[in-house]
Structure 1
Amino acid sequence: MAATSGAFPFPKLVKDNYERWSIQMKTFFGGQDVWEAVEEEYVELENLAGASQAVKKAAKEARVKDQKTLSLIQLGINDNIFEKIEQATTAKRAWDTLENVFKGIDKVKKVRLQSLRVVAIEESNDTETMTVDELSGKLQVHEDKIKRRNKEPIEQALQAKMNINERKDDTNKNQGGRGRGRGRGRG
């Protein structure tokens, strides 16, 4: 889990915690009354010279709210991710960029996995005569195989380490009866 800084109350956004981070930030922004800065892009009003004091005040409050929200987003991400939004001048642009980056990554992973599954099933079966339930079952079996394959290298490495340790123990036991005392009594 990412570390929190003293000034920022949540874990910083890193590559694998976007969903949780975005939920926490939405809640935090709602409590700070700045979430609308993410929903509605702030637009600088061109000419306020002839505007009423109320319009000028509202424009200033909107700008301050937007910049406060943008600074909170910037505080809530690590340095590598900051590079993705450093050009964003509004909270909405920064938020949308992060959302596109992280949701895009998830979509790419899902599409890749699904296409691998489909190719595997198409290669091994006649998909035109297959029912939806059969196809769904085959997809589940294929997914389980992938999960098992991902676990196997770890299990194999642990087994190899155990085997090495067992061999060392056996070697040490066998050497205990021989060695120093060997050759005594011969003469």
Structure 2
Amino acid sequence: MAGNNRFTMTLPPLNGKNYERWQVHMKVFFRYQEVLDVVQDGFQTVGEDAIEAQRSLFRECKKRDCKALTMIHQCVDDSNFEKIADFKTSKEAWDNLRRCYARAEKVKNVKLQTLRREYELLHMKDEDTIVDYFTRLRSLTNYMKGCGESMKDQLIVEKVLRTLNSKFNHVVFAIEESKNLEDFKIEELQSSLEAHDKE
């Protein structure tokens, strides 16, 4: 193997959650395999009256395109393969995946904006118990994380302390005075508040 210039490359398959990262890897791989131009731009077919040089160029482009399409097929999971199985060229398959994930990303961003608004407006209702409030809060933050939002414990703890109803004011004051909110975990806050809620 010492004199061989080939190397094997293991690429993570496109799985529905990693499109941005996957397409960066694939473009580098295509460039290395000298097929990126065919994937991005496609290639021209030749007519019946084409000269031999044109036919030869077409055969070479077709071969490079098959190579690229094979790479795409090998680097997608089963559900993504179904999206591209019927396409005959690498450009068609590549463009279809790009369109699919552009729509998915747009939908995710719209959903995330709605969830952020909901999070901003979230507060403890008078009839809520601590368990009720934390259940709503955790459900919302988990959805946000699922859409790619980074949610640090400290920010969630601070949100809870700001949005509890007034019967917890003395507890909030005590926690803010005695605890380092940077290290205070949501679970600790919930336990502490549940103990006061039962009093």
Q: How well do the aligned residues superpose, as a CA RMSD in angstroms?
A: 3.5
Structure 2 match to 1:57? 56
Separation of aligned partners in 2, 1:19 and 1:58? 33
1:118 Cα offset (Å): 5.0
Structure 2 match to 1:105? 104
1:86 Cα offset (Å): 0.7
Structure 2 match to 1:10? 11
1:52 Cα offset (Å): 2.0
1:44 Cα offset (Å): 2.8
1:64 Cα offset (Å): 0.8
Amino acid at match of 1:82: F
> Is residue 2:39 matched to residue 1:38?
yes
Separation of aligned partners in 1, 2:93 and 2:58? 20
Q: Is the 8 A contact 1:14 1:78 kept in 2?
A: yes
Structure 2, unaligned runs of 5 or more:
1-7, 122-140, 158-185, 192-199
Structure 2 match to 1:28? 29
List per-residue Cα deviations over 1:114-150 (Å, max 9, x = no partner): 244457779xxxxxxxxxxxxxxxxxxx989x9479x
Percentage of identical aligned residues: 32
Q: Residues 17 and 121 (structure 1 numbering): CA distance in 2 closer, same or farther, change over 3 Å? A: closer
Q: Which has the larger radius of gyration?
A: 1
List per-residue Cα deviations over 1:2-55 (Å, max 9, x = no partner): xxxxx76211111111111111110010111100111112343232xx322211
Q: Is the 8 A contact 1:14 1:81 kept in 2?
A: yes
Structure 2 match to 1:87? 86
Amino acid at match of 2:100: V
3-state SS of paired residue (1:45): coil
Q: Residues 119 and 38 (structure 1 numbering): CA distance in 2 closer, same or farther, change over 3 Å? A: same
Q: Residues 51 and 72 (structure 1 numbering): CA distance in 2 closer, same or farther, change over 3 Å? A: same
Aligned length: 130
Separation of aligned partners in 2, 1:117 and 1:22? 28
Separation of aligned partners in 2, 1:37 and 1:74? 16
Structure 2 match to 1:75? 74
Amino acid at match of 2:31: G
Structure 1, unaligned runs of 5 or more:
1-6, 123-141, 161-187
TM-score (norm 1): 0.57
Structure 1 match to 2:131? none
TM-score (norm 2): 0.54
Separation of aligned partners in 2, 1:44 and 1:59? 7
Separation of aligned partners in 2, 1:58 and 1:52? 10
3-state SS of paired residue (1:77): coil
3-state SS of paired residue (1:33): coil
